[in-house]
């Protein structure tokens, strides 16, 4: 069982996650996807709310070769 990021990060630590776009943003959910969401930022906001992290920034990863992905940087207060 993995520890949650909120348990292993010290105060001020950052958590960076890459999130696939949601179905409203053009991502087609496939047969092996276990969950899906309307927008990547909505999912990041949900993750922040359950972990207690604060969202610092989002970055579109398409210009870096990862179509349909965004990156979210969160910080533990």
Query: pLDDT for 27-66, tens place per residue?
Result: 988 888 888 899 999 999 999 999 999 999 999 999 999 9
pLDDT higher than 60, residue 67: yes
Does residue 26 lie in a domain region?
yes
Query: What is d(CA 52, CA 63) in angstroms, rounded to the nearest whole number?
Result: 30
Query: pLDDT for 13-23, tens place per residue?
Result: 999 999 999 99
Does residue 32 lie in a domain region?
yes
The pTM of this model reads 0.80
Query: What is d(CA 51, CA 30) in angstroms, rounded to the nearest whole number?
Result: 27
Compute, in degrees rounded to 10, the torsion defined by CA atoms 26, 69, 4, 43: -30
> What is the count of structural domains for the chain?
1
Does residue 6 lie in a domain region?
no
Domain membership of residue 45 as a residue range: 22-75
Does residue 3 lie in a domain region?
no
Residue 44: per-residue pLDDT: 96
Does residue 66 lie in a domain region?
yes
């Amino acid at each position: 069982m993995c520890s949650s990021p909120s348990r292993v990060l010290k105060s001020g630590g950052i958590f960076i996650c890459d999130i696939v776009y949601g179905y409203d943003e053009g991502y087609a959910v496939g047969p092996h996807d276990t969950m899906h969401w309307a927008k990547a930022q909505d999912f990041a906001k949900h993750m922040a709310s359950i972990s207690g992290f604060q969202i610092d920034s989002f970055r579109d990863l398409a210009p870096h070769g990862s179509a349909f992905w965004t990156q979210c940087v969160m910080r533990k207060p």
